Structure 1
């Protein structure tokens, strides 16, 4: 989840600070909305179902999700929570990551390390400003019990109000620390690995940064960076379990990262921490392709069409 950060280095020259403008913020929001409304939310729903229902396999997950609401079952939590999240978190990532990357570069560290720090800082900023509540409510929508074939279902806003009444602001931000850890490692590795992949492509074809990668090369680099970022799947499973509304005998009432990890280990062993890896692999690739390769292309179009 996020957007590409424009480079803050000038080949052969001093570090130049990249201004954050409304056009770039709009690009981030548009690309995030596109990503989540197309393949993003179905991948998210399948991934979350498998992480919360760790006894299910992929076929069972598809069957249960379809039974809950047909094709629209794969878009649970899209409106309004995923849309609210998508339309805000891109702007936060752009601002935070570009500022951190600029400061890191001026301190003299390498562009790769600066990008890594920028991605990590941007991910943390996302989690604690816009994502905590929205991610929690998306998980609630996917994991809460929904009776099939009844019109007497509690609305998503009523669920949020009920949780706030019972548990206060902490209740509707449950698992935010796990979200922050996930986003920090997500975008640190996505941006870093995508840059490494781009460097590798440049070396293979014997060129430098003066000759930009073409569209397919950018897509390939983004897919590699996004796909390999699933190394932190255990953090995602812990986040889902902390926010899940499933009721299981023996499950700790008040979960933190430590006792949640212990519960997953006790009930599912090591493999429990990797449930949902396959759909998350697809999600990571799709998000990074949209937000890195797609974001670059859209920014270039906006710049050429409307001026800098």
Structure 2
């Protein structure tokens, strides 16, 4: 007996393409707005003790030693990669929302169900985000005239040569990345959709009628809840991904946690938190606003 699988309708495929395109536009906006903040954050997270006295010192040294262009070091990788990542995040999240819409016969999903949509999107995205962030973070932390990597392609080749899933390979830091993306994006999208649902209920408006400033506000608030919820995991991931390739200091997540706790206590898990929170509102506000407006333009 042969079972024939029903092909998805053309309009369903078209919707996925629209979701991917709008997510890519949102991702590009996120990188262009947020890259300088991210570079400062990564330098603080991964630098040796005493290298920088704080955010201001990182900015001062960056400008003095590398110029303004230093804030956009390693931008090519995230510009391509984060665009892809955000397109995956939003397209999978939208797919899951349509799944719940069908299951609930058009009723608004609960906050937990919106969290599930984001968590599934985050888990799927984690496998893409991990190698992209590994390359970006290696390039962002290169200082001085001697460079280990000559751009993202060279970095990819050298990291891949160590074995894809080896302790120093391209997927180094995958476990904390998957956890961060799943929990973080669950919180992220649940917050945004809860704010949108509140807008529907309070003002009786359509999604397309919500003004740009509110979309930016809701996106910014969602960014805050994301990073407040999972920031320590991001620090652990950054420590793993900037560890020496030739003579690694850490054996895994547990050894990073132990090292941070012994040296700095709980404060060590929030190193670089200020630039991250400063970045959250503009970067994520731009992401959601560009996604929503792109969807309106191509629908």
Which range, TM-score by smaller chain? 0.7 to 0.9
CA distance in 1, matches of 2:148, 2:138: 14
For 2:227, the equivalent position in structure 1 comes to 230
For 1:176, the equivalent position in structure 2 comes to 174
Q: What is the alpha-carbon root mean square deviation over aligned residues?
A: 2.8
How far the C-alpha of 1:266 sits from its partner, in A, is 1.2
Q: Would you say the 8 A contact 2:192–2:222 is kept in 1?
A: yes
Indicate yes or no: 2:237 matched with 1:239. Answer: yes
CA distance in 1, matches of 2:13, 2:101: 12
CA distance in 1, matches of 2:238, 2:113: 30
Q: How does 1:154-193 map to 2 (within 5 A)?
A: 154-156=149-151, 157-170=153-166, 171-193=169-191
Q: Which moved more, 1:38-47 or 1:20-29?
A: 20-29
Q: Would you say the 8 A contact 1:44–1:280 is kept in 2?
A: yes
How far the C-alpha of 1:131 sits from its partner, in A, is 1.3
Q: Which moved more, 1:154-163 or 1:224-233?
A: 154-163
Indicate yes or no: 2:210 matched with 1:213. Answer: yes
Q: Would you say the 8 A contact 1:223–1:286 is kept in 2?
A: yes
| Equivalent in 71, 92, 96 of residue 92 of structure 2 | 96
CA distance in 2, matches of 1:258, 1:33: 34
How far the C-alpha of 1:202 sits from its partner, in A, is 5.4
Q: How does 1:1-308 map to 2 (within 5 A)?
A: 20-36=15-31, 38-53=32-47, 55=50, 56=52, 57-79=54-76, 81-106=77-102, 110-128=109-127, 130-144=128-142, 146-148=143-145, 154-156=149-151, 157-170=153-166, 171-201=169-199, 206-210=202-206, 212-231=209-228, 232-245=230-243, 253-303=249-299
Q: Would you say the 8 A contact 1:84–1:134 is kept in 2?
A: no
Q: Would you say the 8 A contact 2:243–2:250 is kept in 1?
A: no
Note the residue ranges of structure 1 that are not aligned, 5 or more in a row: 1-16, 304-308
Change (3 A) 1:27 1:276: same
CA distance in 1, matches of 2:13, 2:134: 33
How far the C-alpha of 1:111 sits from its partner, in A, is 3.4
How far the C-alpha of 1:106 sits from its partner, in A, is 4.9
CA distance in 1, matches of 2:13, 2:30: 25
CA distance in 2, matches of 1:186, 1:268: 24
Q: Would you say the 8 A contact 2:243–2:249 is kept in 1?
A: no
Note the residue ranges of structure 2 that are not aligned, 5 or more in a row: 1-11
CA distance in 1, matches of 2:19, 2:109: 25
Q: Which moved more, 1:23-32 or 1:252-261?
A: 252-261
1:204-250 C-alpha deviation (Å, 9 max, x unpaired) = xx423557432222222222121232212101111110101469xxx
Q: Would you say the 8 A contact 1:226–1:285 is kept in 2?
A: yes
Aligned length: 277
1:243-265 C-alpha deviation (Å, 9 max, x unpaired) = 01469xxx963432222111111
